[in-house]
A and B are shown apart, each in its own frame.
Chain A
């Protein structure tokens, strides 16, 4: 299975070892680095799970069998968050491109999620904001 990114819902950018992803519909955003940034880059280029495992195995000098479970987990999380979607008709590209960076030892891909925006956006700018003003809630509204 290959995947794609719905440009109307998700914006993303990779800079060196870091990737930043925003779900512009929910307002949640995600950041990750290392193997996650590489996995994201490959998925964005049209890699299947197996393609990503093969290329990352070569890149990180680790067996595909070792890294495949972490890749599957990460892809599952990305699907669940709506950041990628299945694209069964997408064709494989001619090759894969990752930035030429020093790589640390393989660690399963992981990313941080930040989801505090929607609660803030709903605040009434006059009556429910704190000293800082909109879009920041007074302390009693924070969870």
Chain B
């Protein structure tokens, strides 16, 4: 047995043993993907609350997670060097078309996936003490691999729906995509996500991946109604405020047809506006943070992003303090889509 195969087998055996004990379990669907999350930990925090509640009849991907540094819970010694995961997180010497090994330096988690067996294992030092932003978007990397197996691409972007169609908002840092999505959701739009969503570039649909929202102080000043739902208000000087959305707070939408790509940017002149943009602008707004945030993406990533940018109308949405006007322009853009 090769070293990568042996490591995969050892991690899998450990996951099986831990999953046979007390666990938190949650089955959910994202588009055509059915996923079962099993967490073998004393306290899973609010991790499961971040995941969709969409029912699935047949979960065919297993995501197993556990934590702890004590014997039996600590993963097998990593058979690679300290920097083997650099630069993006993937341990290339232990990854091929059948398996992937990765290290997420931000959560100090080890991720090992058996792609052929449709299974991924994640070890964390301690799940309950993960920062709120990490609990709000758990299993991002293995989820992106599971979704790719079903022809879906996880993307870094926000999405909202109106009148049966949806817009995917993508853009540079500080462009205002989260603020725009949350302002729209508070104004009655369907909320698909504000950070990561899944897209089907063939069917042109967008799917919810997390039922959470992340709020900056500047967003909260513009949208104070969000303040009552933030779970970590005492931490907002250091990190984003996080909301685990409940039914009735916003209109949570699991899936919607995509009508357009929106590139928000703050208007220099303070006047809100909507102008057509190019597919190239959309690619460069969507690709870097999607690829960077997903450890390089998957083989299908270039295809999905090219197709989205080429098949959907792209608009630059100039943001201004008049958020009602911004939301009206977003409604116009969705209405004019394909």
Contact = CB atoms under 8 A, between A and B. Distances in A.
Interface of A: 7-9, 11-13, 15-16, 18, 20-27, 29, 31, 114, 116-118, 120-122, 124-127, 130-137
Contacts of A121: 87-89, 292-293
Interface string B279-319: 11001100111011101111111110111001000000000
Contacts of A116: 288
Range, interface on chain B: 35 or more
Nearest to B176: A132
9 contacts: A8-B95, A12-B302, A20-B287, A22-B297, A24-B90, A25-B92, A118-B88, A131-B173, A136-B172
Nearest to B280: A31
Contacts of B295: 24
B292 A132 contact: no
Contacts of A131: 173-174, 216, 218
A131 B307 CA distance: 30
Given A25-B88, A31-B283, A130 B173 contact: yes
Given A15-B306, A22-B302, A118-B88, A133 B173 contact: yes
B309 to A, nearest CB: 9
Interface string B141-176: 000000000000000000000000000000011110
A8 B97 contact: yes
A29 B287 contact: yes
B133 A132 contact: no
Closest 6 CB pairs of A and B: A136-B173, A132-B173, A24-B296, A13-B302, A117-B292, A13-B303
Nearest to B307: A15
A121 B90 CA distance: 13
Interface in B33-89: 87-89
A4 to B, nearest CB: 15
B228 interface: no
A112 to B, nearest CB: 9
A20 B303 CA distance: 8
Contacts of A117: 88, 288-289, 291-292
B87 A133 contact: no
Given A8-B97, A27-B292, A121-B88, A114 B284 contact: yes
Contacts of A8: 92, 95-97
Contacts of A23: 296
A13 B304 CA distance: 9
A7 B97 contact: yes
A96 to B, nearest CB: 21
A25 B218 CA distance: 35
Given A11-B302, A29-B291, 12 more contacts: A11-B296, A13-B302, A18-B310, A20-B305, A21-B302, A25-B92, A29-B287, A31-B280, A121-B87, A126-B239, A133-B216, A135-B292
Contact of A20 (B283, B288, B293, B298): B283
